[in-house]
A = this chain, B = another copy of it.
């Protein structure tokens, strides 16, 4: 408990130095959109040439999706006390449907602002919140349904394409398997109009609160690249504001597409402000956590009014999506009594306790329409929480879980009637053979609203390795149609993840998401695999490291046994030693063939074909007499 302390250094807080190192042999590039203020960031990895007998062969650079924001742009100076640059205000102003408020709308926010003791840790934000003008709906879904392509939509269209056409023209190796997408509708090229259609249809969302002006927009939907979320957040037991910002910058460095701030400690409000102001990715929260803090942890004392104020507080800070456990209804609760592990969702257990204590229906359900009114005034997206997700494989796909999912389907349609962007949260612990049933039921109940799952963990028996137990399930459900995968770290079930755990969780989930993209046949997804495998096969060690999801660890593992620089150009590694490398031998096989005169090569091939034909004539069997 001793660790519960504000960071006394907030006013001298510095960015985590590891988060601002440029990636090796990589360049931050920006693709220009149709307007001067639309600049879409990507990372371009340059590769060495391949030496061949007939001269060096060019290997075009590989463009990869970049979630790291300005932190990896060496031309931008970072000061986390000032936050990131405001890149969206001009977009919002062009739409003319929002206004800058003169003060904060939340009572709690005003109290915090008035509290002089918090001055030392408060982020120094000078602007007031933005809100929809009276009667306006400012959600991306609302625009999409009116046929408007927003700047955010154009931004994500460019972002999703990753310069595919230019990469192909430059000659990247893009032979790719066709994939199997289980009914997804992924186009060859992502256009702004396609983005608009998908958002209008409810099949994708761009979480982009109008108060999160530092945001580089991204899209979540089954017809786009599979995304991953990383959770951060302090608890009553640990970590400072500076540490939480460092977890954010560290998480997005390794590929987190969104970050959820799940803080439950004393200074949630202040911590969140620091996080959002320094985040180029959407920030999600679970407002009920903070609401519970406000009633000293007594779930029974929660009220709609207090919760409402919390939503407004967070919406005006710029939270991009809210987890709302509105699908857990009174009549679902008895369905959990016989479960092996009851209710394991924090939000779910809070609401269940409230419902039981008051003998009343969940107030998030009865006030759902009121919540919609708040969401549409700031364009906060719903992430409909699965309060009854299974906490063990034993409880997977049971009546409680599916009962709630059906309610989430109803709520999705209500949210859509209000043009609120909506995603659906999913489990949890599910054995492999039940994952597809889960995905299919979600698609059916929620009419293809994006699914956002935690794992799922495919077994319960490996605490300390639950990034792996869940990475297996995550890859599979991503393939089946899940749009975003919420990471699980090695500390799941055991403790609060540290920075190293965050990285391990993120890399594991990048693997799962990318494996899903490959299996779905997402256009261009295999370019990076092909480039890395080509580098590997040609012993371009540096390129192999640089193309890896984690170049640092790949390099350091290699250097453990072969630390010298000369080994980076060696045609072997310590697994097999110099004489024995199979890739080297294959190269020799090819060289052997290449060294022959053309006529001789033809002769060899001819002999091979003869030999092959001869064996085939024998029915391909040598012991046909047996």
Residue ranges of A at the interface with B (Cβ–Cβ < 8 Å): 173, 175-177, 179-180, 235-238, 264-265, 289, 292, 297, 299, 329-331, 333-334, 336-337, 340-346, 348-350, 352-353, 356-357, 359, 361, 365-366, 368-369, 391-394, 396, 406-407, 410, 414, 417, 429, 431-434, 458-465, 467-469, 471-472, 475-476, 479, 490-496, 498, 507-508, 510-512, 514-516, 518-521, 526, 528-530, 532-534, 536-537, 544-545, 547-550, 553-554, 557-558, 560-562, 573-583, 585-590, 592-593, 604-605, 607-609, 611-612, 615-616, 620-623, 626
Contact = CB atoms under 8 A, between A and B. Distances in A.
A462 B548 contact: yes
A486 to B, nearest CB: 14
Given A396-B177, A465-B507, A537-B391, A519 B432 contact: yes
A403 B229 CA distance: 42
Given A292-B580, A585-B350, A459 B529 contact: yes
B475 A432 contact: yes
A460 B586 contact: no
Contacts of A581: 346
Contacts of A410: 620-621
A192 to B, nearest CB: 28
How many chain copies does the complex carry? Answer: 2
A331 to B, nearest CB: 3
A326 to B, nearest CB: 10
A515 to B, nearest CB: 4
Contacts of A464: 548, 550, 553-554, 557
B459 A518 contact: yes
A586 B342 contact: yes
Contacts of A588: 353
Nearest to A392: B533
A589 B353 contact: yes
A356 B604 contact: yes
Nearest to A177: B431
B608 A331 contact: yes
Contacts of A334: 605, 608-609
B491 A557 contact: yes
Contacts of A432: 475-476, 479, 515-516, 518-519
- Complex A-B, nearest 3 residue pairs according to Cβ-Cβ distance, in ascending order: A331-B612, A236-B577, A392-B533
Contacts of A498: 560
Interface centre among A528, A529, A554 (most CB of B within 10 A): A529
A495 B431 contact: no
B236 A528 contact: no
Contacts of A237: 561-562, 574, 577
Given A177-B434, A342-B589, A459-B515, A495 B575 contact: yes
Contacts of A177: 393, 396, 431, 433-434
A178 B44 CA distance: 48
B463 A544 contact: yes
A238 B561 contact: yes
29 contacts: A177-B434, A235-B577, A235-B580, A237-B561, A292-B580, A297-B580, A329-B615, A331-B611, A340-B533, A341-B537, A346-B585, A349-B583, A352-B586, A352-B589, A368-B622, A368-B623, A414-B621, A417-B626, A432-B518, A458-B475, A458-B515, A458-B518, A459-B514, A462-B510, A462-B549, A463-B548, A463-B554, A468-B468, A496-B574
A340 B365 CA distance: 55
Contacts of A612: 329-331
Contact of A589 (B331, B349, B460): B349
A472 B519 CA distance: 13
A577 B3 CA distance: 12
A462 B550 contact: yes
Nearest to A393: B529
Contacts of A492: 575
Contacts of A616: 331
A551 to B, nearest CB: 9
A537 B559 CA distance: 43
A526 B532 CA distance: 39
Given A236-B579, A577-B264, A494 B554 contact: yes
B462 A511 contact: yes
Contacts of A589: 333, 342-343, 349, 352-353, 356
A72 B348 CA distance: 43
A545 B494 CA distance: 10
Contacts of A561: 237-238, 495-496
A485 to B, nearest CB: 12
Contacts of A549: 461-462, 465
A511 B573 CA distance: 28
Nearest to A437: B180
Contacts of A558: 494-495
A588 B469 CA distance: 29
Contacts of A622: 365-366, 368-369
A611 B622 CA distance: 76
A365 to B, nearest CB: 7
Contact of A615 (B342, B361, B515, B530): B361
A157 B592 CA distance: 52
A580 B264 contact: yes
Given A333-B608, A433-B179, A561-B495, A518 B393 contact: yes
Contacts of A493: 536, 544, 573, 575
A481 to B, nearest CB: 13
A237 to B, nearest CB: 5
A461 B530 CA distance: 9
Nearest to A604: B359
